[in-house]
Amino acid sequence: MLTRFAPSPTGYLHLGHAYAAARAFEFGHCLLRIEDIDHTRSRPRFRDAIFRDLRWLGFDWPEPVRVQSGHLADYAGVVAALGARDLTYDDYTTRRGEADMSRPPAIKLSVDRCIDVLGAASLSFSDRGRDIPVDLRALPDPTLERRDIGTSYHVAVTHDDALQGITDIVRGTDLFSETGVHRLIQALMGWPEPRYHHHPLVMETAERKMSKRTGSQTIRSLRDSGMSATEVLDLAEARAEG
């Protein structure tokens, strides 16, 4: 059994990450993966801080750490393979809904064509031991290559989970709704089906989850304030919903 903790270096880790890391690393065998495909938001200083903060919290992982930005050709290969099966299409639509042909398009997966190829309109995944159905007809066509970064989270995360032999995916419930798309890509690519364990989130307020963008309490600021690693992990646990 193998899991992974897969933060994106787009900000400093906060209490929510401390909780998520504890859930993943307590699993037993856990890899660390840096998900930095978004070059518009990822920064080396945040990546370095991830290593430092996790070590300070007491976690340890095997080397080498997979850093996704070094493997963009792998992700392009997945999209090309799906394209060769006529499952993708180019989308020139901007966020404002206009067509802009002056830039490379986004590449999307046609869920209708996937349903034909799979010969089924539903899939399922295991979450904390429960079987969760996925109605493919309810899925909007997912983006496989974003216009701004040339790849996508969905492709990179499913590719790497398969490549690294991840059997169990421990991550927050904020990603529960993405799992249907991940199952679809796994089914199309013939990749193994991991078990999912979506855990509760640490909330900033009753309505709002912790976020790098809103400047939630970072692990480094808590460390600098004199808290011990155990106190930070206990605080994260206490603030987790449910």
Q: Does 132 bind ligand GLU (CB under 6 A)?
A: no
Four-CA torsion 102, 41, 9, 184, nearest 10 degrees: -40
Q: Does 235 bind ligand GLU (CB under 6 A)?
A: no
Question: Residue 36 CB, nearest distance to ligand GLU (Å)?
Answer: 9
Q: Which is nearer to ligand GLU, 56 or 176 (CB)?
A: 176
Q: Which is nearer to ligand GLU, 115 or 189 (CB)?
A: 189
Query: Environment class of residue 13 by beta-carbon count within 10 Å: exposed (0-12), middle (13-18) or buried (19+)?
Result: buried
The gap between the terminal CA atoms of the chain, to the nearest Å, is: 26
Rounded CA-CA distance 221/54 in Å is: 14
Q: Does 38 bind ligand GLU (CB under 6 A)?
A: no
**Which stretch in 6-14, 56-64, 195-203, 222-230 sits in contact with ligand GLU by CB under 6 A?**
6-14
Question: Residue 156 CB, nearest distance to ligand GLU (Å)?
Answer: 9
**Residue bearing tokens 């449910």:** 242
Q: Does 35 bind ligand GLU (CB under 6 A)?
A: yes
Residues 163-202, mask of contacts with ligand GLU (x by CB under 6 A): --------x---x---------------------------
Q: Does 36 bind ligand GLU (CB under 6 A)?
A: no
**Which stretch in 2-10, 42-50, 80-88, 191-199 sits in contact with ligand GLU by CB under 6 A?**
2-10
Question: Residue 211 CB, nearest distance to ligand GLU (Å)?
Answer: 11
Cα-Cα-Cα-Cα dihedral sign, residues 201, 204, 209, 214 = negative
Q: Does 3 bind ligand GLU (CB under 6 A)?
A: no
Q: Does 37 bind ligand GLU (CB under 6 A)?
A: no
Q: Which of 1, 2, 41, 34 shows the shortest CA–CA distance to 17?
A: 34
Rounded CA-CA distance 165/102 in Å is: 40
Q: Which of 139, 131, 184 shows the shortest CA–CA distance to 157?
A: 184
Sites for ligand GLU among residues 89-118 (CB under 6 A): none
Q: Which is nearer to ligand GLU, 8 or 143 (CB)?
A: 8
Three-state DSSP at 185 gives helix
Q: Does 67 bind ligand GLU (CB under 6 A)?
A: no
Four-CA torsion 171, 147, 43, 158, nearest 10 degrees: 30
Token digits of residue 240 = 């987790």
Binding site for ligand GLU (CB under 6 A): 6-8, 35, 157, 171, 175
